Structure 1
Amino acid sequence: MTRAQRKKEHIKLALSTGQNRATGFDDIAFVHQSLPNIALEEINLQTKIGELSLSSPIFINAMTGGGGTATESINRDLAIIANETGLAIAVGSQMSAIKDPAEKESYRIVRRENPNGVVFGNIGSEATIAQAEEAISMIDANALQIHLNVIQELTMPEGDRDFRDAFERIQMITESVSVPVIVKETGFGMSAEAVKLLSQVNLGAIDIGGFGGTNFAKIENKRRSRMLSYFDNWGIPTAASIVEAKSVAPHTPIVASGGIQNSLDIIKSFALGAAGAGMAGYVLKCLQKDGLEKTIHEVKEIHEDLKYLLCALGKKSLQEMGNVPMVLSGELYHWLHVRGLNPERFSEINHS
C-alpha cells in the first residue's frame, strides 16, 4: 500500500471509528456564579499561544494531506472554514510531500485558500532540520508542529519501530527554524515526565493530544491481520494530561486537544490551564456529514457559546479562567489524586 492510499484509508477509518467521551471533561463541574458582574458585550475571545496572536482560541488541528485529490479536497474545505471563522489551521504530516513532491499540492491548497491566516506545518519526530525547513517553506507556515505518535507507529503494520534520539532532533529543529515549534501528541496524551523533558527546549507550545478523541490505535488495528488490542485503550485522558503538563511546565503554553467536541470542553480546558484548543475529528465529522456552510455556521455557534459560558462565569476572557472554581470527580479525580496532583485545589473557596 502506498503512503497516499494509507492517508485516504486513515480518513475513512477515522470517520467510522469516531470519538468517545473518555477525555475526562465530563468529570468536571463548574461552581455556579450568581453574581458574575459582567456584560456579554465585554467578552473577547482573542488569545495568545506563545508568540502567536489568535482571534479565536480554537484551531483546526492536524488531520490529513498527502492522499492525492481526496485529501486535497478536504484540506481545501478546512482552509475555507479557517478563513471564514478566523481559526488557525494545522496541516497533516508533510512527510508525504517531502518524500513525494507530487503530493505538495494537497498541503499548499491550505495557504492558497487561507492566504492571511495562521497556518501550522507538521512533521514527525524523525525529521531532519532540512525537512523541517522544507515543510515550513512549502506552506509559508507561521509555526511548525512536530508530532509524537509512538503508539500509532507501533500498531501500524508498516510503522516505525525505532524512536531513538527524537528529543535531540526536536531540540535541534527548535534551535534552527525561524518559526515557533509546537510538539504535539496524536491522541495518547502527554505525561508530566515527557513534558518536563520537553520544557528544557524553547518550544512555542506543547499540544498534549490526549486520549478520548480519534483513536489511531483502533484505526491501525483495523488494518492489521493480528490486532494489538492492548493499545486500544492506551493513553492519558485529555483533561488529566493538561493538568499533568501544567504541573511541570507552568510557563510553557499548553494546548488542549484530543476529543474536544464543544464549547464546554474548550472552556474546561482553559480552566485547567490550557492556552488554546485544537479540534480535528469533530470538525471533520461535521464537514463530511453536514457540508461546508453548516460547518462554518457550527464554528460560529461555538464562538457564541464560549461567550455565553464566559459571561455565566464572570470572566471577560479565556485568560481569566485560571481561578474559576470547579469540582472534579470520577476517574479524572482519581487519576490526579494518585498522581499527586491535588485535584482539590480546583475547588477551594477564594476568601480574598
Structure 2
Amino acid sequence: MEKDRKLDHIQLAFDSHTGMLEQDRRFIYEPMLAAHPEEKAQPFLFLGKMVRAPFWVSSMTGGTGVAEKINKNIARACREFGFGMGLGSCRKILFDKTHWADFDMRDTIGPDQPFWANLGIAQVEKLLKERNEKAMIDLVGGLRADGLVVHVNPLQEWFQPEGDHIEQPPIETIEHLMSRIHLPIIVKEVGQGMGPASLKRLLKLPLAAIEFAAFGGTNFSKLELMRENPAVQEMYEPFAFVGQTAHQMVKSVNLLLQEVEEPQCRQLIISGGIKNYLDGYHLVSLSQLPAIYGMASSVLKHATGDYHELKTYVGNQLKAYRLAQQFLTINPDYDSA
C-alpha cells in the first residue's frame, strides 16, 4: 500500500503544480498553530437557537411540484448537522392549504433548529393595507416557524410579467409591519444585494437578522426578465448587472457600525454568490457582527434527488469549513472592490 501511494505521488506530481496566479490571497495559511478539527463542532447561539454550523439554506422554492421533497431533504440536513433554513415564498399557502405539506417542515427539522416562513414585500404591503395582519400571524403559527422572512424585490416584481406593484418604500412597510405585529423578522433581498443607505435603515430596526442575497449568485430579477419577450429583455437587461456583492455589503455594514449608535439589528446572514465553504469562511470572518453564511443554488442542485446526496455534500462543506477555521487567517492586505 505504501509503495502504491508513493507511485501515485510520482505520477501526480506534475499535474499537481500550482501557479502564482492560482493563489487564494484572501487567506494566510498557518500550519503550525492548530491540530485537525474535532468531528463535532461547538454549538453557538444564532436566531435565538443553539446551532452547530454557521450555515443557512437560503429561501428558494415557493411551491413547485417537487417542493415538498426539496424542503424535506433540506430540513433533514438541518436537523442532522445543526443549522437553519428559510422557506421559499409562502404566498401560495396564505389562504389555500392545498400545498401546505410542501412547507410544513417543523416535524422534520425538529424543534431545535431555526425554521422561518417567507413572504414578499408586496404581499406584506397588501396585507397591512387590508389590515389583515392575522394572515401573517396564522401563517407563522401554523407552520410553527420561528419568524417571518420578508424578501424585498422591487426589480423582480417590476420585471415579472405577473408582478405586483409596490406602492410605498419597502423600509416604510417593514417599519409599519414591526409596529403592528410582534413576530421576529428577517429582511432579505433576492440576488442584487443592498447599498449602504438601505443597510443603515435596516440596522436601526430590531430585526432578527439581515440576509444579504447579494449580487453574484442567483438573480431573480434576471430570472424574471428572461421570461419576458426579447424587446423587453433588451431594454431592461442593464439592470441585471447592478447591485452589491456580499463582500461589498460586509464592508458597508462594518463601516456603518461606526455611524449607527447602538444598532438594533445585530445578526447577519451573508448570502449571494457564495460558491463554497472558503467564500463563506472569508466573509463570516470579516464581519464585525455575528454572522453565518447562506447558500441556495448549490444546495438546491443536491436537494432534488436522494437525501444521501445532499447529506454528503453538506457534510463535506461543513467539515472543510472547520478545517479552514483551524489553519487559515484573514489576509489584512487583501481587498476586493
Contact 1:260 1:282 in 2 (8 A): no
2:279 is aligned with 1:283? no
Partner of 1:125: 121
Is 147-156 or 80-89 further displaced after alignment? 80-89
Partner of 1:339: none
Matched letter for residue 85 of structure 2: I
- Consecutive unaligned residues of structure 2, counting only runs of 5 or more, are 1-22
C-alpha deviation, 1:94, in angstroms: 1.1
Partner of 2:255: 247
Identity rate, percent: 25
* Distance in 2, Cα, partners of 1:249 & 1:122: 27
Matched letter for residue 302 of structure 1: Q
Matched letter for residue 243 of structure 2: G
| Aligned-residue CA RMSD (Å) | 2.5
User: Where do 1:330-349 residues align within 5 Å?
Assistant: 332-333=336-337
Partner of 1:11: none
Per-residue CA deviation, residues 108-132 of structure 1 (Å, 9 max, x unaligned), is 1x22322323201111223133333
* Distance in 2, Cα, partners of 1:299 & 1:279: 11
* Secondary structure of 1:311's aligned partner: helix
2:266 is aligned with 1:271? no
* Distance in 1, Cα, partners of 2:25 & 2:251: 13
2:327 is aligned with 1:327? no
* Distance in 2, Cα, partners of 1:80 & 1:239: 30
Per-residue CA deviation, residues 64-88 of structure 1 (Å, 9 max, x unaligned), is 1333x43222222222222222221
Is 130-139 or 192-201 further displaced after alignment? 130-139
How has the CA–CA distance of structure 1 residues 205 and 27 changed in structure 2, closer, same or farther, with 3 Å as cutoff?
farther
C-alpha deviation, 1:181, in angstroms: 1.2
C-alpha deviation, 1:61, in angstroms: 1.1
* Secondary structure of 1:64's aligned partner: coil
Partner of 2:316: 301
C-alpha deviation, 1:313, in angstroms: 3.0
TM-score w.r.t. length of structure 1: 0.76
Contact 2:68 2:103 in 1 (8 A): yes
Partner of 1:311: 326
Partner of 2:108: 113
TM-score w.r.t. length of structure 2: 0.79
* Secondary structure of 1:232's aligned partner: helix
* Distance in 2, Cα, partners of 1:105 & 1:42: 34
Contact 2:211 2:268 in 1 (8 A): yes
Partner of 2:45: 48
C-alpha deviation, 1:246, in angstroms: 2.9
* Secondary structure of 1:40's aligned partner: coil
Partner of 1:95: 91
Is 203-212 or 152-161 further displaced after alignment? 152-161
Contact 1:28 1:268 in 2 (8 A): no
Q: Which structure has more RCO (C-alpha within 8 Å, separation ≥ 6)? A: 1
2:99 is aligned with 1:83? no
Q: In terms of Rg, which structure is larger? A: 2
Partner of 1:232: 240
C-alpha deviation, 1:50, in angstroms: 4.8
Partner of 1:137: 141
* Distance in 2, Cα, partners of 1:102 & 1:287: 23
2:187 is aligned with 1:187? no
How has the CA–CA distance of structure 1 residues 217 and 65 changed in structure 2, closer, same or farther, with 3 Å as cutoff?
closer
* Distance in 1, Cα, partners of 2:99 & 2:333: 48
- Consecutive unaligned residues of structure 1, counting only runs of 5 or more, are 1-25, 315-323, 334-352
Per-residue CA deviation, residues 228-271 of structure 1 (Å, 9 max, x unaligned), is 21222121112111221232147521210012221101101112
User: Where do 1:24-35 residues align within 5 Å?
Assistant: 29-35=26-32
